[in-house]
């Protein structure tokens, strides 16, 4: 994640106050490939918030992360947050045609087309952060109470279901 001055820290604090666990890659361990721990964190996330800033599209690391997040998009909800950058600017960042650039361009185009939040300095940043946090809370609650096709989709409840099933199958001694 490209680090935005103030905004990122404020958003993380607001999410933490709502007991929402956040994951940010460690900028000290950056390289050109997404680490296995980051891929696991992306796959385990119910929501991925991508904070796009002015320098986001010029960071190879951020673009690799974006490709990884969008690859896992089927597993989670992706919420873009455009911080002082217009979504249409992201689509126009690359002119070359290498395979890696094509992957990044496709990722930026796809992310810029998603419905998200756009900060333009018109209103207080804290107001937008509260709106983003409330949106995330709403999505998490919707996911939590979404009807499931079968019990295998419910994480951590299988042993409880088996326990209840065993209690229900107790035969009477009449």
Dump pLDDT digits (tens) for 24-78.
Answer: 665 545 444 566 777 777 788 878 888 888 887 777 778 878 888 877 766 567 8
Q: Give the pLDDT of residue 169.
A: 58
Q: For the chain, what are the domain ranges?
A: 7-168
Q: Which of 9, 11, 36, 65 is catalytic?
A: 65
Confidence of residue 114 (pLDDT cuts 50, 70, 90): low
pLDDT at 8 over 70: no
Q: Give the pLDDT of residue 67.
A: 80
Exposure class string for 61-77: b at 16+ Cβ within 10 A, else e = bbbbbbbbbbebeeebb
Neighbours of 48 (CB within 10 A): 21
142 carries an active-site annotation: no
Distance, CA of 166 to CA of 160 (rounded, Å): 10
pLDDT at 174 over 50: no
pTM over 0.75: no
SS3 (DSSP) at 156 = coil
Q: Give the pLDDT of residue 26.
A: 55
CATH dotted code for 7-168: 3.40.50.10140
108: tokens are: 């930026």
Burial of 90 by CB count in 10 Å (0-12 exposed, 13-18 middle, 19+ buried)?
A: buried
Decide if 64 contacts 38 (C-beta within 8 A): no
Decide if 115 contacts 81 (C-beta within 8 A): no
Across 115-134, average pLDDT: 73
Dump pLDDT digits (tens) for 81-108.
Answer: 888 888 777 666 655 445 666 777 777 7
């Amino acid at each position: 994640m490209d680090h935005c001055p103030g905004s990122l820290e404020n958003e993380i604090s607001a999410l933490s106050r709502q007991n929402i666990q956040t994951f940010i890659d460690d900028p000290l361990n950056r390289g050109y490939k997404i680490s296995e721990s980051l891929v696991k964190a992306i796959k385990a996330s119910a929501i991925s918030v991508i904070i796009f800033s002015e320098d986001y599209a010029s960071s190879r690391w951020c673009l690799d992360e974006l490709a990884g997040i969008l690859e896992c998009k089927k597993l989670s909800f992706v919420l873009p947050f455009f911080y002082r950058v217009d979504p249409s600017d992201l689509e126009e960042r690359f002119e070359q045609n290498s395979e890696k650039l094509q992957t990044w361009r496709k990722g930026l185009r796809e992310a810029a087309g998603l419905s998200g939040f756009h900060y333009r300095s018109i209103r207080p940043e804290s107001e937008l952060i509260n709106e983003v946090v409330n949106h995330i809370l709403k999505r998490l609650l919707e996911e939590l109470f979404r009807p499931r096709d079968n019990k295998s989709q419910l994480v951590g409840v299988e042993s409880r279901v088996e326990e209840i099933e065993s209690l229900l199958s107790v035969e009477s001694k009449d």
